[in-house]
Structures are given as C-alpha cells and as structure tokens.
Structure 1
Amino acid sequence: MPSQYTIYLVNQSSSTQTFWCFLTRPAEIASDPNVFANSSASIAIDSNDPSTNYFVIPVQYSVGAGASNNAVGLDVQVTSTISQNSDLAQVWNADYANAPPKKGPKLTLASTSTGPNSIKLVTNSFNQEDNESLGWYSNQSFGIQTASGFMGMTWSPSPNQSRTLTPKLSFYISVGSFGSSTLADWTQVSNDSAQVSVPGSFTGGACTVTLLNNGKWKIAPGKPAQFALLENLAFLKSDEHSQLMAMAYLEDATIQQDTVTQVHWDTSSVAKLSAEEEAEGYVANTFLTGTITVATALTAGFAYFVVSGVQFSITSVNGATTVNFSYSGAQSAATIQNLLVAGAQAIFGGNRP
C-alpha cells in the first residue's frame, strides 16, 4: 500500500468552484446523527484551469479532543485543542476536566491495544452537564491531517464512552459553500459528490476527479492525461526520440501513444558481474519479461515502446491490444515495475521484422 494517495482535481464547469475533501465515516458511526462532517481541506479552482490542483492524503490517521464555548452542532466551527497521529490498533485516553476552571482535555496513548484494523477512543468520567451549564462544551474528532487541512468528523463525547472506529480510505469530493472546520451534515456532503475509495479508484496511488460542464462527476484511476505527456517529456526531447522519429520517417512507419490498461510480469533476473567489473563500478543489468495490454488496437507491428523515457522491447504480439515485452537495463526490477503500471502512457515505435 502506498504511504499516501493523491486526488487530482479538474474543473470543467463554467465558473470557479471550491473543491472540498471529506473522509467517509467508519461503519461504527455511519448512522449516528450526532457525528458531523468536519473538513478544512479545500481548494478553489478556476474554470478549465490548466494548473495542477490536488489533495495529497497521507495514510496517517489523527485523533483529537477539545473543549470550547461552542456546542457541537451543525454550522458550528470546531477545532480540537489537542490532536495526535494514531496508528491502527492504538487506544487513546481522552480526559476532560470538570469546570470551573474551564480547562482543555488531555489525550494520551494507552498501554492497551484494540483490533488490528481499528482505533479506539476512551473518554473518562466527567461532569458534562455542569460543564455545559457553564458554557463549556467538549468535542472529539477523528480523521486525517493533510497539508491541505483536516478531513474527518467531530462529535460530542459522553462521559465513560468508549468508541472503536474501523476507518476506510474512502473520500467525498464535493463543491459548495462549506466552511473551514465548520460542522456539516453528511447528507449535504455526500449528495452530488464524487466518492473515491482505495484501492478501486486509484492506480499508482493516484486518481483524477473531474467536475464536468454538466455538473456531473467523472472519476478516473491514475494521473490526469497531460501528466503522462510530461512524464515522457525527457524522452521526447532526447536523442533516442529523434532517432525514433527519423526511423519512422525513413521507414514510412508510424508511432502511437496509448494507455496501458493491464500489466503481467513473468520473469525477473539480475546479471552477475565479475570481480573485475564490480571493482570498476559496473552496474548489473536487470532482465524482465511480461505482457501489457493497451486501450486501443495497435496500428502497426511495433518493435518497442517507451514509458517515462524507459524503453521496452516487444518480443511478440497477442492480438490487437496485447504484446509480450522484455526489459534489459540498469534500473532495478522494483523501479521498472512501479513505472510500468495500468494507467501509464506508452509510446510505440519501430518496425518488428
């Protein structure tokens, strides 16, 4: 699993839109009307803005606790006064003080653990009724803290309450007039939104969410199409690409760019260097073989294809969209396998004999 996921945002509507990202609720609190959506992660994007806009979401959960003069409820701005990064299986003790005086809570990691896919919050015994009569309201939050802001949920904890949460990496992308750290209704958040989930919506840790000019959403695994061209820019400016174009011209051949839809790896090996070669600092070549399938039919009997400046030899063809290939080069097997994935853009060229 990647350590972070990137949601790329494209605005094809006719006006500037503010995109918000909300983390979906764990199953344990999915039907609780007293748990509210809470996000400060937003970005305003102009109509057909050519710049790159995205949310980067680390796989790192966060728990929070707070107390303030604001009661937890719709349209109330709430932020935790203390928050901690949390790993799965951890248990956190949230200790709230009795007022007066009006003090913030403490949030400490317990020595116990919970299920391997869950996080548990344990609230102490405190006098909630007296605190609230003095205008001092407790809150508790769970979510993910990103560079763009917090995305998660907030509720008012009850004394002696234990809450076990089994999070899922699923998100709502929505546009609208939400307020930063202002509690929102889940129906409002989820209606007319795009929902993306790990792993199905992502390829290579990325997905692209587009707001179309008819107000509907389009979700596509991987980066935006223009990124594939940028990734191949170094190759397009290289001597190898010039030679490829020259060969295409001289041989009356063609080149074709296509999207990889499926990759299957067969074999992997690394050449063994002699002692003399190791002493000279030579790097052992990696040998890989496999099969790729692309989105559209290949228009010629190509000899090779290039992905992000790395060349692969085509060894045979299996139908109109599938080819067997091999790689031989100095890059590691892991590097090549992370490069050649579904969603990658491949440039085909050369003529197979």
Structure 2
Amino acid sequence: MFQSFDAKTDPAQGRERLPRLRQWLAEHRLDGFLVPRADEHQGEYVPPCSERLRWLTGFTGSAGAAVILADKALLFVDGRYTLQAREQADPSLFTIESLVDLPPDKWMRLHLTRGTRIGFDPWLHTIGEAERLADSAKEKGAELVALDRNPIDLLWKDRPELPLEPAEIHPAEYAGELAADKLRRLADAVREAGATFTVLTDPSSLAWAFNIRGHDVPHTPLALGFAVIAADGAHRLFMDERKLSIEVKAYLTQLADLFQPDRLEPELVALAKSGAAIGLDPVLAADRLRQLVEENGGKYIALSDPARLPRATKNEAEIAGTRTAHRRDGAAMTKFLAWLDRQQPGSLDEIGAATAL
C-alpha cells in the first residue's frame, strides 16, 4: 500500500537519547545544537537515514525542528502537528513551539545569552537559513558553529543505510524533451547569470534535467543525488552507481561525467580553487556548499535553481500525461465515493476509508 499508518516511534526514546546528545555537546564545548527535519536536499520527504528529528524526539511530521540546550529542549512544529507533537514527543523533555510564529531564528534572537555557542550541521540548513540563524546569534552576542560531523549520526548506532533504490529512465515520449536539450538550456542560464557552474541540489531538478526517476524517498519518484551544471557543457552527476543498471549508466554517461556522491565535496573544492564562479540557490542549497566555495577561493553567486521554472512550465507531452492521470484518478475517486456511499454510517474510520481508496 502507498501509505502506512504505523507510528514507529515512542515518546520514551528521548529520555535516553537527549542526555547522550547533551553529553556530546558538553564534551565539544557547545551549548546547544539545531536539529532540522531536513536532509541534504531540503525535501519535504526524506529517507529513513535522514530522520534525525524523529530519532531524537519521536516526532514523525514532515515539517519541524528542534533546538537543544543544556537546560531545555524545544520542538518547533506548524499548526498541522500541534496535537501530534504532544503525543509523540515527551512533554516533560520537549517544549512545543510554533514553527510559523516563532521559528528557531526568532526564538534565538529572543532567548540566547552572550557567549552561547550553538552547533549546526551546514549540510542540513540552506544558505539563507544559516544566514538568518547566524544573524540572530550575533545579535545576542552568541555564535553559530558549523560542525564537520552531525552528532546525531555519531550517536545513532542503528542508523539505516542510504537508499539504493534503482534509478529509471523517464521515456522521452512522456518527458516531451530530450535531456540533452534540457541540459543545454541550463548551461545557457548558467552562462547568462555570469557563473561558470551551478549545483543542482533538488532531486526534482535532477529528475527533470536528466529525465530520470527513482524510489529513494516516500511519496515522490526521485533518485537522490547532485549535479554540477557547467556553462561549457561539461556536466557532472553525483549519484551512487549501485542504483544504476547498465542501461541507465550508459544513458547518463552520454549526458554527464558520473561520480559517487562522496566526490561532490572534493570536486567542488577543486573548482573553487581554480577560481570558478559557482551559482548556488540560497533557498535550496546547503550552506556547506557555500562554505566549500568561499573557503577555497571560489566566487559564490546567489543563483536560483535554473531548472525550477522550466520544469514548472509544462510541454504538450507533460500536459497530455497530466490529463491522462486526472482521468484515471477521477475514475478511481468516483468508484471510491460510490463504494463509500454504500457503507453503513459510523462503520468506517479515516484509516479504513484511506485503505479502501
């Protein structure tokens, strides 16, 4: 079934894990740590190995964050999850705050004290978000400290492996445009922005640009990875080759040089040292990428993901596919509503209805 209703969490887990995190922070001269729901790609849905907020707090919602200090721990959620957060996270350990009205950067501006050192994983915060957090800390005389390793990853002994679901080629008849032509458009956009490269960090942009699909995260057909788009057409794709069949690998090697994901940092460092101007989307790209560029002599250019607008502009083949999907889904919904109308009032709950659908 597409949807699962298993909770797979326990409010009691924070009672053992929170002290271990605080001990690690104390040993590394840190007063606090930020735990976002995000992964390295800033997607709404993340693979099990990136469920750090769930591991620490028990909260399973798709949006949230935590601020952990020596004497308090706060869990920030939006209005969808207020009741759920109080059920899944131990209220004696975590104070629930509003992610909308008082997000972590605003909370820090109000409550941090001078000299406080707050650690964060720069892979899990966008450039823009890290700037806001740093500004809030600076305003209070505190310091935002970028960490080389995420302490939760070190403490999470049974952390799942990275997903290795097979990537697939999205047929041109459904895409409506060859990947080679899309990549030429992206290269032109990079050149026109005054950059030599840009990094695509959003797997949706990779899916569109390379005409590929995958199964690495729930609910969306994405293959996780990164791409460096070059103004001169010498593109690089960073994706675990264990996901690639012989056919898919042969297809992708016609479009870009293939690298394992752990080669992204050294490749970006090499480009920066060569003096490259590298575009990064401050809303999407991890702050770690900006650090690598600026610390190694490269020029960081704030550049919106050049694939976002093109992939939102549907061609005739994509529009036809959308119409086909709507007809198919509409027929299924009509059958479901007819079935629902035949059920005895009070005999069905929400999960039962969703299961039938």
Kindly indicate whether structure 1 or structure 2 has the higher relative contact order, using CA contacts under 8 Å at least 6 residues apart: 1
Larger Rg: 1
TM-score above 0.5: no
Q: TM-score, normalised by structure 1?
A: 0.21
Which structure dedicates a bigger proportion of its chain to helix? 2
Query: TM-score with structure 2 length normalisation?
Result: 0.21
